[in-house]
Amino acid sequence: MEIGSPPSGNIITTRLDKIVNWGRKWSFFCYPFVTACCGMEYMSTAASHYDIARFGAEFPRFSPRQADLMLVVGTICHKLAPVVKLVHEQMCEPKWVIAVGACACSGGFYRNYSVVQGVDRIIPVDVYVTGCPPRPEAFLDGIMKMQAKVDTESMFQRRN
């Protein structure tokens, strides 16, 4: 069956979405954009103690071209903003973004000349994980929220 054009029978489309989303949500290729202390929590989450591999996301790719889930982990300053934008643009569709920690969500306690007040001013964010820094459990909860969101999407939608 050709993937580019939707087949006429609705029942088949639904099942195809389901199976594709099932594959996508259990095999996130994370790009960890780690800039600050939340990165320690990510390392803890990714290592064996909390074991992010239970969610199929254990394989961080350090090239955005090989990743589909961008983790913005830490403070983003104005000097770095164009780089975040560039990295996000380099990722292929489908792609998702999780903002981890208070700084990435809203600027956190940095309300000054240098810090961007939330990474959603630069790139679209799907899931926000709160905490300063968030515990690994919160991180895993964010991954599960992301899985739930991916499950609702259709593979024929272009997201960004």
Partner 1 sequence: MAEKNPTIKKLLAKFGGQIEVVASPFDKMDTVRVKRESILDVCMFLRTEDDLDYDLMRDLTCVDYIHEKPRFEVVYHLYSIYNGHEIRLKVRLEERDPTIDTVTSVWVGANWYEREVYDFYGIRFNNHPDLRRILLYPEFVGHPLRKDYPIDREQPLFEERKETKGVR
Q: Which of 29, 4, 50 is nearest to 155 (CA)?
A: 4
Residue from 5, 8, 9, 111 touching partner 1 (CB under 8 A): that is 111
Residue from 83, 92, 144, 148 touching partner 1 (CB under 8 A): that is 83
Contact segment (CB under 8 A) with partner 1 among 2-10, 56-64, 76-84, 137-145 equals: 76-84
Residues in the interface with partner 1 (CB under 8 A) total 17
Contacts of 48 (CB under 8 A, 6+ apart): none
Whole-angstrom distance, CA of residue 9 vs CA of residue 37: 50
Interactions with partner 1, residue window 13-72 (CB under 8 A)? none
Residue from 3, 19, 47, 86 touching partner 1 (CB under 8 A): that is 86
Whole-angstrom distance, CA of residue 2 vs CA of residue 111: 51
The H or E element containing residue 98 is strand 96-100
Residue from 1, 62, 93, 113 touching partner 1 (CB under 8 A): that is 113
Question: 31 phi and psi, to 5 degrees?
Answer: -110, 100
Residue from 36, 40, 43, 81 touching partner 1 (CB under 8 A): that is 81
Whole-angstrom distance, CA of residue 76 vs CA of residue 84: 8
Q: Which residues bind partner 1 (CB under 8 A)?
A: 78-79, 81-83, 85-86, 89-90, 111-114, 116-117, 121-122
